[in-house]
Structure 1
Amino acid sequence: MFSAFGSIDYQSIRASTPAETAIKRLNGIGEVLSGLDVSAIRTEGEMAHALLALDTADKCIRVILTEFRAEHSTEVVRKAKSLIGLIEQARDEISGYGDGGNTLGRTRAVSA
């Protein structure tokens, strides 16, 4: 197992309910996203890497929602929607980089 995912899986194992497991996994995705600094993007390669990270996070969130469909609590859905909204906002800001827009000057790290 990749060590980067070890803590997330360990926390999930210790969760007492499936909904708590889903929240812990979503929180882990949020922690990863919070390290993404959109304002530091300077090249097309960095932009592609950031978009790939956002797409991967989005897919992971959707897998969690599918996996825990029967256990959807208000908190799980709220957390997932919040993260998806942040991902969409970050994508919009990154796309401003490709348009020659100046969105990067006012962008900071993605906060979850």
Structure 2
Amino acid sequence: MFSAFSSIDYHSIRSSTPAEAAVKRLSGIGEVLSGFDISAIQTQDDIARALWTLDTADKCIRMILAEFRSERTTEVVREAKSLIDLIEHARHEISDYRDGRTALSCISA
């Protein structure tokens, strides 16, 4: 899964402003999450791996927000909030599934 995150920084290097770099990094995380199919989860190991991936994405988003604290624009904050909301929704679905309350769907960023 880290290989998917590794290209995110490469794209941000070509940005003209720090805010644009932050948005590109966040968009890269969104691309990773959009390919994350939680409906494929079938085992406890799958659940653990999915939660680990979501936690990693959440930490990356928070690191980007910390790194670009002075360059936060409405677009940066909106993109980060959208991704954090997606992560929370996916965590909730996984928790419901683990507790036997619902079937899983896909994340779309």
TM-score, normalised with respect to structure 1: 0.90
Deviation at 1:16, TM superposition (A): 0.1
Whole-Å separation in 2 of the counterparts to 1:100 and 1:54: 20
Alignment of 1:111 with 2:108, yes or no, is yes
Distance 1:95 1:31, change over 3 A: same
* Ranges in structure 2 where 5+ consecutive residues have no aligned partner: none
Runs of 4+ in 1 over 3 A off after TM superposition: 2-7
Paired with 1:3 and 1:63, the residues of 2 have a C-alpha distance of 18
RMSD across aligned C-alpha pairs, in angstroms?
1.5
More off after superposition, 5-14 vs 28-37: 5-14
Unaligned 5+ segments in structure 1 are none
Which piece of structure 1 moves more, 94-103 or 72-81? 94-103
* CA distance in 2: counterparts of 1:4 and 1:36, whole angstroms: 11
- For the residues of structure 2 that align with 1:77 and 1:9, how far apart are their CA atoms? 18
* 1:51 partnered with 2:51: yes
* TM-fit CA distance, 1:13: 1.1
Give the Å deviation of 1:8: 2.2
Partner Cα distance (1:5, 1:86) in 2: 17
Count residues in correspondence. 108
Please state how far the C-alpha of 1:5 moved relative to its aligned partner: 4.8
- The CA deviation at 1:7 is 3.3
